[in-house]
Amino acid sequence: MSGVPGLHSPIFRPVAEHGLLVEFGDRIDQATHASVLALDRALAAAPFAGFVEAVPAYVNLLVRFDPMVTDHASVGAALRALMRTAPAGAAPGARRVVEVVYDGPDLEEVARRSGLSAEAVIAAHLGGDYQVALYGFAPGYAYLSGVPKAIALPRKEAALRGVAAGSVIIAAGQCIVTTLTMPTGWWIIGHSPTVILDPQAARPFLFDVGDRVEFRRVAP
């Protein structure tokens, strides 16, 4: 039925009067997320009448539309038609380089819990295969998949307040470079001088969903 990989019959769920949630599965895996990115890319190339935006996540895509122009049934039909002709697989994203100083207050604890040395934790983090999976929680918060299993710790039992913007944090197999000072229950392994969010720029976010990210170690 569909050129998009993953489920042959994704589930469509109405969201208020102006949205449709397209669910490709209930487990986070590479094939399901590729389905999300493929539909997102197809919508960007060929939007239907009344399309407002698409918001990708790990296993689903929220499609927002103008209810004065179209409705849930029409949007569902447009998406099904689009999926029948969309190229399979997600297009390769741009490659972004993010610099890191590995001086985080949790680096030694991550090493202890992982059974590694601090340098081995750093080497593992640098060797991850990172992709921007979604944006969420705060402006510019790009959730990166691809943290190696060796350092894929669960979140902390309690959050820490006042974590500085630019912190490099990991938890549950994901990595984020923070963009605001705010609390987090993730492990802080370093900080980055790379600008991820610039509200004054024509392009405020460094990443697009689907981009690949390479971390590069720099001196303090």
Complete DSSP assignment for 135-179: E-SSTT-EEEE---GGG-PPPPSS-EEEEPTTEEEEETTEEEE--
For residue 220, what pLDDT band results from cuts at 50, 70 and 90?
Answer: confident
Our measurement of the distance from residue 180's CA atom to the centroid of its chain's CA atoms, rounded to an integer in Å, reads: 17
The CATH label, of 2.40.100.10, 2.30.30.90, 2.40.110.10, 2.30.30.40, for the domain at 95-217 is: 2.40.100.10
Please name the CATH architecture into which domain 11-85 falls.
2-Layer Sandwich (3.30)
Identify the pLDDT of residue 114.
97
Provide the whole-model pTM: 0.80
What average pLDDT does this structure show over 30-35?
A: 83
Sort strands 95-100 and 60-65 into parallel, antiparallel or unpaired. Answer: unpaired
| pLDDT tens digits, 190-212 | 999 999 999 888 889 999 888 99
Q: What is the per-residue pLDDT for 30?
A: 78
- Helices 118-126 and 107-114: crossing angle in degrees, nearest 10, is 90
Residues 6+ apart with CB under 8 A from 100: 125, 126, 168, 190, 191, 192, 215, 216, 217, 218
Q: What are the structural domain ranges in the chain?
A: 11-85, 95-217
For 126, counting Cβ atoms within 10 Å of its Cβ (0-12 exposed, 13-18 middle, 19+ buried), the class is middle
For 99-112, letters b (16+ CB in 10 Å) and e give bbebebebbebbbe
How far is it, in rounded angstroms, from Cα 49 to Cα 55? 17
194 DSSP assignment: S
Q: How confident is the model at residue 91 (pLDDT cuts 50, 70, 90)?
A: low
pLDDT of residue 88: 60
pLDDT at residue 89 is higher than 80: no
Beta bridge partners of 145: 131, 174
**167 touches 186 (CB < 8 A):** no
Which pLDDT band holds residue 7 (cuts at 50, 70, 90)? very low
Mean pLDDT for the chain overall: 90
Distance CA 152, CA 132 (A): 17
